[in-house]
Structure 1
Amino acid sequence: MEHTIIPYLIKASISLALFYGLYMLLLRKDTFFRLRRFYFLFSIAFSLLFPFLMIEMTAKEEVPVQIPAYWLSQIEVSAMPAQQVLVIDWKLIALFAIGAVSLIYALRFIMQLFCILKLKVSHNSEKLDTCCIVKIKDRKISPFSFFRWIFIGSQIDDEEKLKEIIAHEMVHVRQLHSVDVLLAEIVCILFWWNPFVWLLKKEIKINLEYLADEGVLKEGFSPKEYQYILLQVSNVNTGIPIINNFNVSQLKKRITMMNKNRTSLGKATKYLLLVPVVFVLLLGNAVQASPDIADMITIPFVNDGQQVPQKKGDVYVTVDKMPEFPGGLNAQQRFIGQNLKYPVEAQEKGVEGRVIVRYVIRSTGDITNIEVIRGVYPSLDEEVVRIVKAMPKWIPGKQNGKAVDVYYTLPLIFKISGSKKIFSEGKKDKDVMVAVGYGTPKKEGVTLKEGGAEPSVDHPFITVEDMPVFPGGESAMQRFVADNLKYPESAQKAGVQGRVTVRFIVGKTGEISDVRVIRGIDSECDAEAVRMIQSMPKWTPGKQNGIAVPVYFTLPIVYRLKKDTVVNTTKK
């Protein structure tokens, strides 16, 4: 609950603060009272609603990235029953505290409505065409209005004075100023802890009085006599804040504003500053309509059958059964090694680098929509496209047993033999399947020939002919995990459970390296999974063509509490 309410309160509060700040800086000294009223109403309505406006912003198209992952069987870790420990959720406590105080303000608001209704029922009233005048006997109160009801105290006995007071209150009635006051009160109930809402309420009420004063003077009443009446009733208060009171505390401001020259119409353009403020707030609340990380990942080799299918437009990114090169990955690597040529022109110019090509494997197995999404040099890019076009029909991918179109991404590195250049992009370069094209360094008087390609033993493989093996096999690894992985006590107490997915590399010598959490649930659970994998003994390394090579592995570990485990039910 707090994950939705607290962000809403924060966003709405920031919006109200920005609108109030803009008003105080640039708008409070003008005489555009009607325009100002619209500004206040819009500010409140927009602030209350904009956190719900999740506008999607179209992002630059992302290309599916092929992340190699040979998945091991899922391992589940269960917690033993733990003693009940109270975990204090300060966010929830703060939320309840805010709600409790809001409830008090709401009850106060209801009591004020009841007081107004009681005054109306217990005193005589005179119905007019547009309003109802309620005369309060034996009680001195400042005249006020609430929607169509105008309340007059017993101390008002002068006929001329009464006309001016009624003229003032009639402006409130005709323009429905009670709506503004009630809206401001409701905002204060919801955001009582935000000082800006109280300041905004104060400005809203004084602006309504400016409007009423302006209406009285337009009807031809003497400004001097009207201001004198204001001074006479300034010492009487009703004690009801949800009304349009003839007397407000900012009497000096009202008199000053009545005597002030009207602001030139050209300065009303300042209110257009509302547009960039609205834009900034919407931009801050926007969500980028880019695919989730899963939408950008193609995992062609998954053996647990639990990969969640992802789709990008009409073409899938991942499916239940991924497309397969005839004969599998090893056959694909052999095909590339036998057919890829290192263009002579590129060798002579010493051009090296990584080319990434993306294509669609149709439901028929045909390859279409081939495009270079990261190129190095025209002849290298064309060579990679040629290789892809030359591929035979694939075994199509399937979703729910039906053949479908699927994206596939192929990165290839061209590297001159003996070159010491590194084409790594940090850890990202470890996440792709690569084929390295080897040519001959350019020497004077030597004619270069087009070189073939062979798999690189320096980059981790996805699958190889002989996969790495944990000492004793997978059952021994299961026992090792069960004996060495600990369920963090704090996670048990907080009721944290779920699946942590860890990827690592089994190196050429069998050592474990590059242990990374690719999907976590809790910092301590994630750290414990990494620690356990790093403590594993050396594996029997994997081999390709009889040569030991590094290989990726992915290990899902499930932390699950037993049914009789006692935990604090409060969210952490």
Structure 2
Amino acid sequence: MQAEGNYDEPPLFTADGQAALEQWLAENITYPTNGFENGLHGKVTVRFTVEPDGSLDGIEATAYDDAALAAEAVAALHRSPRWLPGRKGGEPVAVTVTLPVSFRNAIRPKEAVFAAGDSQPADFMGGGLIAFRSWVMSNLEYPTAAYDNNIEGTVVVHFVIDTEGCLTDTHVVASPHSSLTREVLRVLRMSPQWEPARQDGKTVMFRYSLPVIFSMHGTTSGAYTRIGSPTW
């Protein structure tokens, strides 16, 4: 990230700086569905001004490898919380920032990823997808911020079980709110080891798509157990 202008202290996403910004982007950028399926990746350079009140203004993509990636990077930054503004002489000032945003589809082009019908599916704790659904349900919590603001809807996430049985390459392709996105990603990061899928006796990567439904009907914030039907 590069800052431009007359300042003593540059603006920061939070007091934790670049690491917090990268984490927020990872949790809030939605990889375009066609881009994920087609292995699309690249970099988008975004330029914007952090105003004295910490809001972002004039967000635009100034360079990019693909228009869909550029649109998503800009859309994500429009959802950004307020930053810590830059300062000059101890007073907050407007500072223009240039930020590179990378989209990386971690699945290597020459490494095949299989789906249902192509191979023996990956297995979770001896119970397959049913067992995984139960595990997700037992760990999912309804975010307090979403509950207090009557936010509900479906988060759709793609992920891959790699040849070692690790859940990886998670990409949220639809979500009504960032707090629900963060909760789904939090749970998926906790996933125990799977038994990897097999094709012709060899372990292979296997892709799933999982819709997670958050509905406020008959529930409270905290422990929550409603989930949609996963697909391959």
TM-score by length of 2: 0.49
Greater RCO (CA < 8 Å, at least 6 residues apart): 2
**Greater share of helix:** 1
TM-score by length of 1: 0.21
**Greater share of strand:** 2
> Which is higher, the Rg of structure 1 or of structure 2?
1
